[in-house]
Amino acid sequence: PQIDSPDLQQTSYVDAGMQRWQDQLSQGEVICGRVRDFPQSELALLAPQGILSLMVVPIFSGESWYGFIGFDDCQHERDWSPVEIDALTAVAGIFGAAIERRRSENALRQRKEDLERFERVTISRELKMVALKEQLRTLEAKLKERGLD
């Protein structure tokens, strides 16, 4: 309910009393259940938001834990069905794949830019070498004309 709350942004899991979330989510585990059954440190953050039940699924980008996506129910305490958990896990997988694709595209774009920059530098050096060789031939020809070869 308070996704945009500044108090919940850029806060470490440990500082927020959510170490369990970091531990479990980073290992690919789902966190779900009735908030009243959660540890007190988590209850202190979730209950004031009016959250009664919660399901949180990790998002991985490649092998790296990126974050999480979740649902909360502020109307009823409830247990989440395996189908609901599977559905949110599938969504998290799609998000993770999209994030990984974006990262791969960015890396590919950066490599392409680096290669283009390298090619420009190489061509510039080659052109300078051609110009220097031409100057050398010109000097050699002048020296030969003067008999100083």
Per-residue pLDDT tens for 21-69? 999 999 999 999 999 999 999 998 898 889 999 999 999 999 999 999 9
pLDDT in tens, 94-130: 999 999 999 999 999 999 999 998 998 888 888 888 8
Please give the span between the terminal C-alpha atoms of the chain, in angstroms, as a whole number. Answer: 88
- CA nearest neighbour of 69 among 49, 83, 89, 84: 89
In this predicted structure, what is the pLDDT of residue 121? 86
pLDDT of residue 70: 93
| pTM (global) more than 0.85 | no
Distance (Å, whole) CA 62 – CA 98? 10
pLDDT score at 146: 85
Q: Which two tokens stand for residue 86?
A: 């599977």
Q: Which residues contact 46 (CB under 8 A, 6 or more apart)?
A: 35, 38, 54, 72
- Please, which residues have CB within 8 angstroms of residue 92's CB and are 6 or more apart in sequence? 57, 58, 59, 60, 68, 69
Instruction: Pick the closest to residue 82 from 20, 32, 35 (CA basis).
Output: 32
Strand 53-61 with 31-34, pairing: antiparallel
Categorize the per-residue pLDDT at 20 as very low, low, confident or very high, splitting at 50, 70 and 90.
Answer: very high
